[in-house]
Structure 1
Amino acid sequence: MKRIPALDSIRGLLLVIMTINHLFWISGGNSIIQMFSLQPLGQFGAAEGFILVSGFLAGAIYSRPHLSNSELRSKAWSRAWSIYKYHIVCLLIVFVWFALCVTYMPTSAEMLEVNLTSLVDAPWSSVLLSAALVNKPSYLEILPLYIMYMLLLPILIAAYRRGWMAMVLLSSVVVWAMSGHITDAVIIHLLPGAALQTGYFDPFAWQLLFIGASAVGYAANKGNFNWYSKWLTVAAGVTAAVILLMHHGFFLQWGIHQGVLYGLADKPELGWLRLLNIAVWAYLIAAVIKHRPNLLVFKPLSYIGRHSLQVFAWHTVMIYLMAPMLWAQRFNAHYEWLVFVCLASIWIPAWIREHSGGLSQLKRWSLGAGSAMTVGLMLSVVFRFEPAPQVVANTDGLAPLTIKVANIKGDGPIILLVYGEGDNLNGMPSIHAQGYSVSQATAGIRIDAIPVGKYAIFAYQDNDGNQRLTSGSNGLPTEGFGYSNNPALQGPPSMEQVQFSHPDKAHQTIQFWNF
């Protein structure tokens, strides 16, 4: 199959969107830009598209007729090995960077450890299990999926060649349907006592995207795949339009809001609505490429799309290196500009890849990683945190807790709730619950005599005076709110995401989300 330039552009666009979202999420910021980067076309995002395109290309490229089953196995596994090496390099750089932060920039390490909890709790086992693709720290989850699916690819194509495609697809659907019952508890049971981050994406669910796309790629490569139909195109267009309208709140009067949609389009488990949504958009995009091959081609995006592995690996490392600097600047007016500067750097690995033909792979990696770490260190030092005053508990094991709230938009009182380790985030807290003025919350609220322990904070602005966080008909809060640790929100956070140790983190700044 000939190279499809539009697919390079699409992969490039997906890489741009993922990078934007990850920069905002890892640094605890938010921006109006996310209205265009967070699922703008419906109930699916860039990660799903990336796996789908990768599966299609894998099915097409590795099923070329001149490749025997043994040759395609060798090539596919060689590709998996290459991806694995990139993943290991990413892990090493991120882990070394975290160790440097722990030693020289402890306040930077504090904000990074939310994404590297296993490394904090059990460093050596975390490193070993990460190398074994069992432990998957935040933002280091996609490449392990791709590695596993590439190892599976020779079996898939061999089955397709035997005429067993329907059986393979049916088996994939069955595994997807059962994926919700294959929980992390299985892995945890096999590795008792290990500190694990099993990853955001369920590999047993997401395999359906890769396998389904690989089957389409295989069929397309054979040349007799008659997939296009005007009526099917109309049906796909209508379906995409209806889901898009639901996604943007046009059917609220019938009770269809984001809360309902998310239940049907669960991202980690790849809900059926998410699958349907990305399938119809994939069909529509394929129809556009069929009739107007160059319409979706944009050379700057194609440039990075042609080197997606290198760019993806770079972005994974870069977001960790830039996170401390962006975190420190997330309340400032130039925060979004810094995000775009970081985003622009993803063209660097593509340039290195195209202009370093005389360099060995090791030298290319060293050049890229060394440059990225140097820039990250310099920026993190220049835009470093102002260290919070160290708080020490008194002889009774008590210490004050200071809480500031930023990004407040309204004038209503700020309700501050401090939860103990055993509390339920959906209930009333056992530690502290009180309202404060905007000026008090902005200046900082000091709560004296908090025992040493683990706590979580939830704050919201009670503009309507109903003593609770009000949500609109679309299911989204209409009042500002935020949590300790300022987690990236894709739904209600867990206690682990918002919990902190006191008095180690006795100075908390909560950035409000305002939808």
Structure 2
Amino acid sequence: MPQPSSTRRWEIDALRGLMLVLMTVTHLPTRLTDPLGQPFGFVSAAEGFVLLSAYMAGLVYGRLAWRKSIAHMTRAFWRRALVVYGCQAATLVFLFTVIAFIGVKVDQPAVKNLMALYLEQPVAALVNGLLLIYEPPLLDILPMYVLFMLASPWALALALRFGWLPLVAASVAQWVLAQFGLSEWVYQALSTWLPTPVAYEETGSFSTFAWQFLWMLGLWMGATRNDPAAPPLAFPRWAVLLACVVAAVCLVWRHAVGQAPFEANATLNLLFDKWQLGPLRLVNLFALLILTIHFGPALARRLPRVRALETLGTASLPVFCAHLAVVLLVLALFGPELDRSWWIDAPLLLGCFAVLYAVARVSLWLDQPPDDDGRPRPDDVVSAATSTRPVWRAPATGSPAARAVSSPARR
């Protein structure tokens, strides 16, 4: 039930829904985990989901900053960050209560290893988890979102005043330093002043200093779409052809050798590393991004719309949290085995996606304003600032947007 095209981007919703499906299949331990993990090359659904979310954040909140003020945009970002933080806290409590009880009761090693610190130091684990320091596996994505959304108002405000080049350059520099251990260095420096029982390995698998580059890239792409004078996102023919070659090579390579491109060579595998966003992984991602932007509009016009994917993508935050709950329950009850009978895996998959779709429908129904006509408001970053007004125009002198950029009080 997406909204009209003036307020919704159904193709973005469908892509986010597809990313959620791929993440669920990857995280849920079944026979499909390995073959459908990174199905398009050495790129996972997480990269696509972060990039899409950042794009919508830049598009919607950037429009809010121009139409109203930096202060309005900042409050909208922070409200959404608080909602995402609440989801992270609820998922953490679910892990430390329901999943911990089941895992200990059935003596499930996978669950015990997943929350080892909590089983040893429950109070410290809970406090540090709520502070976004302790991030057990699978629960390390939303904390990254919270940090990115808290930092985004300053990024957009600086971009409105000084342009995007300095911000993108600083983001690239952080990504480069992250390849040489910036995250661990910062952890060591901070733990010297603020000792914590949380080891570096338990602070989350994702390198925030590397993944911020994807968020900044998406934020830039989305925010610049609000400028009527901005050139279209288009690429020369040679870039499209090169992207086709790179994407095809990586696709065949991934399915020929598996998800480890260089098999047992750990040093070379770092070039495609997911957690650090290795350089060759970014090359593969950029190739897919170019192809999506170039061929996407034509495919969207010709392919039938998959309403179920749109529904999942529109309610992306509750669906994402629900997928975590289902995956944790399956791990606690069935373990991480990937070679179970299809008589078990098929009902698991069908039941999981039935739950996710039901969560999406209920969430969209609950999210309808009282005077709505039955169409859901958009979820995730879009919900804070969707508007039916025309696409914004460059602000005139004296407009709220101009005052937002020029007034120190509003910055």
Partner secondary structure for residue 218 of structure 1: helix
- Hey, which of these two has a bigger chunk of strand by percent? 1
Where do residues 112-131 of structure 1 align in structure 2 (5 Å cutoff)?
112-131=111-130
2:214 to 209, 214, 230: 209
- How large is the RMSD of aligned CA atoms in angstroms? 2.5
Partner secondary structure for residue 226 of structure 1: coil
2:354 to 338, 344, 354: 344
Partner secondary structure for residue 198 of structure 2: coil
- 2:150, 2:304 → 1: CA distance? 31
Contact 1:206 1:270 in 2 (8 A): yes
**Structure 2 counterpart of 1:8:** 13
- Hey, which of these two has a bigger chunk of helix by percent? 2
Contact 1:20 1:343 in 2 (8 A): no
Contact 1:247 1:257 in 2 (8 A): no
| Unaligned segments of structure 1, at least 5 residues | 25-29, 251-255, 361-515
Contact 1:90 1:313 in 2 (8 A): yes
**Structure 2 counterpart of 1:237:** 244
Contact 1:326 1:338 in 2 (8 A): no
Give deviations 1:378-436, integer Å, cap 9, x for gaps. Answer: xxxxxxxxxxxxxxxxxxxxxxxxxxxxxxxxxxxxxxxxxxxxxxxxxxxxxxxxxxx
**Structure 2 counterpart of 1:226:** 232
When structure 1 is superposed on structure 2, of 313-322 and 327-336 the one drifting more is 327-336
**Structure 2 counterpart of 1:91:** 92
Where do residues 26-175 of structure 1 align in structure 2 (5 Å cutoff)?
31=31, 33-64=32-63, 65-101=66-102, 105-108=105-108, 110-175=109-174
2:285 to 278, 291, 314: 278
**Structure 2 counterpart of 1:324:** 332
1:353 to 339, 363, 383: 363
Taking structure 2 as the reference length, what is the TM-score of the superposition?
Answer: 0.78
Shift of 1:217: 0.8
Shift of 1:359: 11
Q: 2:353 corresponds to which letter in structure 1?
A: L
Where do residues 383-422 of structure 1 align in structure 2 (5 Å cutoff)?
none
**Structure 2 counterpart of 1:434:** none
Q: 2:181 corresponds to which letter in structure 1?
A: H
Change (3 A) 1:344 1:37: farther
Partner secondary structure for residue 39 of structure 1: coil
**Structure 2 counterpart of 1:452:** none
- 2:193, 2:154 → 1: CA distance? 27
- 1:69, 1:344 → 2: CA distance? 41
Partner secondary structure for residue 170 of structure 1: helix
Contact 2:103 2:111 in 1 (8 A): no
Give deviations 1:61-88, integer Å, cap 9, x for gaps. Answer: 1100313111100101111011111111
Shift of 1:230: 4.6
Partner secondary structure for residue 41 of structure 1: coil
Higher relative contact order (CA 8 A, sep 6+): 2
| Unaligned segments of structure 2, at least 5 residues | 1-5, 371-411
Give deviations 1:364-383, integer Å, cap 9, x for gaps. Answer: xxxxxxxxxxxxxxxxxxxx
Shift of 1:164: 2.4
Q: 2:297 corresponds to which letter in structure 1?
A: K
Change (3 A) 1:281 1:121: same
Give deviations 1:123-156, integer Å, cap 9, x for gaps. Answer: 1011011101111011001100001000111111
Change (3 A) 1:9 1:189: same
Same amino acid, percent of matched pairs: 26
Contact 2:133 2:198 in 1 (8 A): no
- 2:7, 2:263 → 1: CA distance? 40
Change (3 A) 1:248 1:355: closer
Shift of 1:116: 0.8
Partner secondary structure for residue 110 of structure 2: helix
Q: Larger radius of gyration, structure 1 or 2? A: 1
1:291 to 286, 298, 311: 298
Count, aligned residues: 347
Contact 2:110 2:336 in 1 (8 A): no
Taking structure 1 as the reference length, what is the TM-score of the superposition?
Answer: 0.63
Contact 2:85 2:142 in 1 (8 A): yes
